[in-house]
């Protein structure tokens, strides 16, 4: 494991902050001042400002019910509210596992472990959403939900600053259309990937605008009755299932 990864996995420092510490000569591997290309072996001892960094053997995860009008970010240059402003300060250095955009709400997981955050973000765990869409679901949309969709040279539904114009969206794992009224359609969808604004871009391709988007589950963790703006720690059974997931995927912790 590279030295900056080791630091970010086992401290509250980000990789960028780790790189700065290395640049300043404040990191040592055993008795040697660390270089950017150095890797940490099992038997190595790592120090920051002469204080030894021990490998984490425990981790914590919380479920947060993100509200509409909050950013999943530590700060915003436009002064918009972030989830960290609403959470207690003890979570200020915790990492979000994936994101929901400013207009979306629902389940967000946060953890004090960069390794856990990375493993879950890259996983194919199911994500479940409830949507309200302006317009109607026709045969073409159903076929795309069932067979997947290839978007090329198109930014409908994307963030205005996004540079991504093409996206391959896998078939939905599940979908359920509850019905339409007043020009709107409500449905439930389950997917197992988390590309940026994936659902907004999927429906945007068919000129359907998502009015409401709420994530209610991520893997084995469900939002349940957790109120908007509140958080909770994972329960014992949820931690056990998470550890099973890590073991099955050969992720050592």
SS3 state of residue 66: strand
Which residues face 174 on adjacent strands? 190
DSSP per position, 142-167: HHHHHH-EEE-S--TTS-TT-----E
Q: What is the pLDDT of residues 197-236, one digit of tens each?
A: 999 999 999 999 999 999 999 999 999 999 999 999 999 9
| Rg of the chain taking only CA atoms, in angstroms | 21
pLDDT tens digit string along 109-160? Answer: 999 988 888 889 888 899 999 999 999 999 999 999 999 999 998 888 888 7
d(CA 213, CA 216): 10
Annotated catalytic sites, by residue?
101
Q: How far apart are CA 12 and CA 93, in angstroms?
A: 6
Question: Is the predicted pLDDT of residue 34 greater than 70, yes or no?
Answer: yes
Tokens of 218: 């991520």
Helical axes 3-10 vs 15-23, angle rounded to 10°: 120
């Amino acid at each position: 494991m590279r030295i900056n990864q080791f630091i970010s996995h086992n401290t509250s420092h980000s990789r960028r902050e780790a790189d700065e510490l290395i640049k300043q000569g404040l990191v040592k591997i055993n008795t040697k001042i660390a270089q950017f290309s150095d890797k940490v072996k099992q038997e190595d001892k790592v120090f920051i400002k002469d204080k030894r960094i021990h490998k984490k053997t425990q981790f914590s995860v919380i479920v947060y019910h993100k509200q509409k009008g909050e950013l999943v970010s530590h700060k915003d240059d436009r002064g918009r509210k972030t989830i960290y402003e609403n959470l207690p300060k003890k979570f200020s250095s915790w990492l979000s596992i994936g994101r929901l955009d400013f207009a979306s709400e629902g389940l967000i997981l946060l953890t004090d472990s960069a390794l856990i955050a990375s493993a879950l973000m890259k996983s194919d765990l199911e994500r479940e959403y409830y949507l309200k869409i302006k317009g109607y679901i026709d045969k073409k949309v159903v076929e795309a939900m069932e067979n997947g969709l290839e978007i090329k040279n198109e930014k409908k539904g994307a963030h205005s600053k996004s540079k991504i114009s093409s996206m391959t969206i896998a078939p939905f794992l599940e979908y359920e259309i509850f019905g339409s009224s007043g020009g709107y359609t409500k449905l439930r969808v389950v997917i197992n990937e988390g590309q940026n604004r994936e659902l907004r871009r999927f429906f945007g391709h068919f000129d359907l605008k998502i009015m409401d988007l709420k994530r209610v589950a991520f893997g084995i963790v469900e939002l349940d009755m957790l109120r908007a703006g509140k958080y909770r720690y994972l329960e014992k059974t949820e931690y056990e299932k998470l550890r099973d997931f890590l073991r099955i995927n050969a992720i050592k912790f």
